[in-house]
Structure 1
Amino acid sequence: MNRVNNKRQSYSQNLPAVILLEHPSEVYVYNYGSFLGKKSERLVVKEKGQVVLEVPFYELQNIIIETSGASISTDCIQECMQRGIPISLLSSTGKPYATIISPYLTGTVITRRAQYESYKDKRGIQIVKLFVEGKLKNQANTLKYFAKYRKGADGQLFSNIQYLIEKINVIAKELNSVSGKCIDDVRGHIMSIEGRVGNLYWQGIKLLTASKIDFPGREHAGATDPINSLLNYGYAILASKIEKSLILAGLDPYAGFLHVDRAGKESLVYDFIEEFRQPVVDRVVVAMVNKGSSVEMEEGQLSLKTRRDLAERIKERLETTERFHGKKYRLQTIIQMQARRIATFLRGEAKYKPYVSGW
């Protein structure tokens, strides 16, 4: 326990006490001991008695607190409720355990109405194209990331990966020509582009891991080989993070666009997760395999020890900082930012730009 706490404290010292996201404004508090209060018409956040943020309440749309050590004054809560500003409380793992919602809050209703209506117009096509654009670029960048370390050691492998990347980039350009009145008109075309790029990408992953382990190619449910088992378990962890971010953004996780509606299927989760599979999970899994980390299988499934190891590595990856919109944020914060941007895009209030990882 002390090891985890010390690690988290050291990490926090390198980051600001709070993050104020772009319009619509969202305050994200994650440092132990933070205090949220009201001063006139402004939200005030303090650490160790020092003011670290002041922002007018009229600019706020949401407050997210991800620490067990924060406190908030009742007059601050009252002001937020009167203005319809929800206060979301998350555990240290990012799991929402409570939300204080005002009876005056209408943002969720407005957002979900826009989400459902978008399915029948061009907004649905636009948001899916952006999700897939992010996915294809992240697939290419993941191959670039691992290939750059092979350039000197294995020139042939590097050349083979570069060839696959070039083919991916050619196919990805087809997204620009996709058009229609609603997502039902273009779903097949988009999935064809996604599928062809996916085949090339997984060929690249097979080449990158060939010296360490046998990878039969991408398999989903029921896979019994180590790499697919790692990927499937990692995606399940990521999906839980994606679902929480969508709910906090006021979106319906079951109402997607590219993935069709089906009882019990969180279609929007499967749409949105595409943007983050490679930078969050694939990079962790390929690194584990290439570094020779122990991957134990028991009766066709990952052992408990391996599952815990993978979960910890993904958690650490989500806490690393990446550059986005000219600033550095934790990956899990970027996911929440992007979920909010989906909502504002569907409401017609802002543009959406997919997250693309560096390499």
Structure 2
Amino acid sequence: MVQFRRIFYPTRLFAPPLTAGNPQHCAAVTPAQRLLPDEPDTDNSESDFPEQGWRLFTEKDAQSPIQRSLYVHEQGISLLKEGERLLVTGKHDAVRASIPLHTLDQIVIYGNALVSTALLRYCHQRKLAVHFHSWHGEPAGSLDLPRGATELQANQFERLQNERWQHNFARAHVIAKIHNMLTLLQRYRRSKQLGELEQHARILLQMKDQAREARSLDQLRGCEGMATRAYFQLLRQQFPPEWGFAGRNRQPPRDVGNAVLSYGYGILYRMVWSFISRRGLSPWLGALHVPKAGFAALAADLMEEFRAPLVDSVILQLANSGVRPIELLEPGSETRLSVAGRKQIVAAIEARLRVPIQLPGAGRGDYQRLIAWQVRHYADVLLGRDVAYSGFHWR
């Protein structure tokens, strides 16, 4: 049993975070290579944060995680409740770990594990989220309820019936996502193949401009789709050749790069979902993504602006820090992640979430608090406390 940030994690279920993972540590980019203009953008919608409407996620200990997660990767183990503790047992009922339940906010299970009725009932009563994924990482279901803010959910439903409001909300996500993709490319691009780099960069900038002028959700989705395709054409140049990354694909992923990206996006999706539920919002009611059964459209909307800073940057750092695909994959497989590989990805993303950053008007924070802040900002817009939603623009 290993103690880490006031939470007890079983050593075989959770790996300690990596110490390196900040793309800001990469070599500086010369002005001639910049994809974004050197001069600051004077458009108010392009500021890194809105000037008003930010509330710090209240917590006594500013250094502790505000969403504490247990990731279960091993197959065939059992999760039981004994008093106020979660017991992790393996074969022959041997106790592998004993974790105080009050130290957890969510349990994320990959593949097959036995979960006792007593534990599920406790999680339901205490609003401790339990998320289920397939072994490959695709979301498979959740036990997670909003915190009963009926007024907030009523406003959420009412606002999303207003096409103009829905359009403006979706546009903020698309513009922020494209901005953050360009920021990541600016930090990671290499000096070779500058012609192709600049060509695809112009597409992203063009789609960003067109998203501002888009008059329908379909046009916005088209801009987002074209920008994303151009982005991954540029991103593939940043992966070492042995990773075999030739562009984004999924269901199923055809190379280790896509397998790792999909796994990371699944972690981010569940994290945003939990913050949404904790705030009292309905995760099902989104704007940019079309609602469908079993799909948390609002979580998918809000996570868009965090894909590049929190997942893509981490995976690129892993790939370029000497981590070989064989270290992440099951023996003999080209796309199936091993338990050790999954632990390494989770640890790297968790470490990235704890990277200190400057929060507007509230001193230092981290990316977990920033996600919670964005969710609260959205709730304040619904309640009329903030005028309009502004996406996170990564510097």
CA gap of 1:4–1:294, structure 2 versus 1, over 3 A, is farther
Equivalent position amino acid for 1:27 in 2: T
298-307 vs 245-254, which deviates more? 298-307
CA gap of 1:107–1:233, structure 2 versus 1, over 3 A, is closer
Are 1:261 and 2:272 matched, yes or no? no
Match runs of 1:203-242 below 5 Å:
203-242=233-272
Are 1:174 and 2:207 matched, yes or no? no
Equivalent position amino acid for 2:284 in 1: Y
Match runs of 1:1-359 below 5 Å:
4-5=4-5, 26-30=57-61, 95=106, 98=126, 108-121=149-162, 122-147=164-189, 150=190, 155-158=191-194, 160-179=196-215, 186-295=216-325, 296-298=328-330, 299=333, 300-325=335-360, 327-350=363-386, 351-358=388-395
Q: Is the 8 A contact 1:140 1:168 kept in 2?
A: yes
Percent identity reads 23
For 1:314, what is the secondary structure of its paired residue? helix
CA gap of 1:66–1:312, structure 2 versus 1, over 3 A, is closer
Q: Is the 8 A contact 2:243 2:255 kept in 1?
A: no
**1:29 offset after TM fit, Å?**
2.8
CA gap of 1:259–1:94, structure 2 versus 1, over 3 A, is same
Q: Is the 8 A contact 2:53 2:385 kept in 1?
A: no
Q: Is the 8 A contact 1:284 1:313 kept in 2?
A: yes
More helix by share: 1
Which residue of structure 2 aligns with residue 14 of structure 1?
none
Q: Distance in 2 between matches of 1:316 and 1:25?
A: 21
CA gap of 1:211–1:135, structure 2 versus 1, over 3 A, is same
**1:222 offset after TM fit, Å?**
1.1
Q: TM-score normalized by structure 2? A: 0.63
Q: Is the 8 A contact 1:123 1:346 kept in 2?
A: no
> RMSD in angstroms over aligned alpha carbons?
3.3
CA gap of 1:66–1:135, structure 2 versus 1, over 3 A, is closer
Q: TM-score normalized by structure 1? A: 0.69
Q: List per-residue Cα deviations over 1:165-214 (Å, max 9, x = no partner).
A: 232112210112123xxxxxx22111100011011100011111154421
Q: Distance in 2 between matches of 1:133 and 1:120?
A: 22
Moved over 6 A (4+): 64-67
**1:324 offset after TM fit, Å?**
3.9
Q: Distance in 2 between matches of 1:291 and 1:134?
A: 28
**1:2 offset after TM fit, Å?**
6.0
Q: Distance in 1 between matches of 2:338 and 2:261?
A: 14
Equivalent position amino acid for 1:204 in 2: L
Q: Is the 8 A contact 1:322 1:328 kept in 2?
A: yes
* Higher RCO by CA contacts (8 Å cutoff, separation 6 or greater): 2
Equivalent position amino acid for 2:60 in 1: V
Q: Is the 8 A contact 2:55 2:373 kept in 1?
A: no
Q: Is the 8 A contact 2:67 2:368 kept in 1?
A: no
Q: List per-residue Cα deviations over 1:147-169 (Å, max 9, x = no partner).
A: 2xx3xxxx323554344223211
**1:275 offset after TM fit, Å?**
1.1
CA gap of 1:170–1:340, structure 2 versus 1, over 3 A, is same
Q: Is the 8 A contact 1:135 1:275 kept in 2?
A: yes
Q: List per-residue Cα deviations over 1:32-51 (Å, max 9, x = no partner).
A: 9x9xxxxxxxxxxxxxxxxx
**1:91 offset after TM fit, Å?**
6.2
For 1:245, what is the secondary structure of its paired residue? helix
Q: Distance in 2 between matches of 1:290 and 1:128?
A: 33
Q: List per-residue Cα deviations over 1:54-102 (Å, max 9, x = no partner).
A: xxxxxxxxxx9768xxxxxxxxxxxxxxxxxxxxxx96665396469xx
**1:23 offset after TM fit, Å?**
5.7
Q: Distance in 2 between matches of 1:261 and 1:193?
A: 19
Equivalent position amino acid for 1:208 in 2: Q
Q: Is the 8 A contact 2:180 2:309 kept in 1?
A: yes
Unaligned runs of 5+ in 1: 9-20, 35-63, 68-89, 101-105, 180-185
Q: Distance in 1 between matches of 2:277 and 2:296?
A: 11
Which residue of structure 2 aligns with residue 77 of structure 1?
none
Unaligned runs of 5+ in 2: 7-15, 18-51, 69-100, 108-122, 129-146
Q: Distance in 2 between matches of 1:177 and 1:212?
A: 41
Q: Is the 8 A contact 2:66 2:369 kept in 1?
A: no
For 2:293, what is the secondary structure of its paired residue? coil
Q: Distance in 2 between matches of 1:320 and 1:219?
A: 29
CA gap of 1:328–1:94, structure 2 versus 1, over 3 A, is farther
